[in-house]
Amino acid sequence: MRFAASVATLIASAALSSAASVTFWTLDNAQRTIYFTSNPGSSNIDSVKVGGGKNTTVTFPDTWQGNFYAVKEGANNVPGMLGEINFGSWHGLTYFDVSAIVDPNDKDNVKQMFPAKSLEPMSGCVNFPCNNAYYLPDDIQTKATEEQELVCTLGGGSIGHTFTEEQ
């Protein structure tokens, strides 16, 4: 994670209003388990099974920081493409990104993350690799939003929305 200077423009209007959450939206038919890794000081979140074609919402403490990865049913539990989140962080904003730092070849689990209402900004890719994920420690790819509710898509396919960041 690294913050881009442009997030400063969001700060003036940041406000906590709803519960921090991620809705996992599975776009293919696979069943997966989401495993969470909490940063020091953030509470543990139990792993959760998410079904093919479904939305599953997980709620978090307001200032939770950590990451998660998805493992398909029957596959080994090894960290892959990561979703990284800092809820209620600097100036109360939510920071997030999709990170390929651990395993850039994990291409059909965690795909795209974005705020549930505005849908922008988006981190991640429909097809990896793309230039909208975090590949190197000095990539400036961390996104910020005033919203506390994020969506993370999993698996194959796109959601049929053209994001600003998509090329």
Q: Give residues in contact with ligand NAG (CB under 6 A).
A: 25, 53-55
Tokens (6 digits) for 122: 């988006």
Shortest distance (Å) from residue 114 CB to ligand NAG:
10
Q: Are 94 and 62 in contact (CB under 8 A)?
A: no
Nearest to 31 by CA among 76, 78, 73, 79: 73
Nearer to ligand NAG by C-beta: 52 or 61?
52
Shortest distance (Å) from residue 34 CB to ligand NAG:
16
Nearer to ligand NAG by C-beta: 53 or 129?
53
Q: Are 97 and 141 in contact (CB under 8 A)?
A: yes
Which residues are CB-neighbours of 41 under 8 A, at least 6 positions away?
A: 65
Nearer to ligand NAG by C-beta: 140 or 166?
166
Instruction: Give CA angle at 55 (51, 58), nearest 5°.
Output: 100
Reported as type and span, the H/E element at residue 49 is strand 48-50
Shortest distance (Å) from residue 116 CB to ligand NAG:
7
Give the residue nearest to ligand NAG (CB). Answer: 55
Q: Are 163 and 129 in contact (CB under 8 A)?
A: no
Nearer to ligand NAG by C-beta: 51 or 104?
51
Shortest distance (Å) from residue 111 CB to ligand NAG:
14
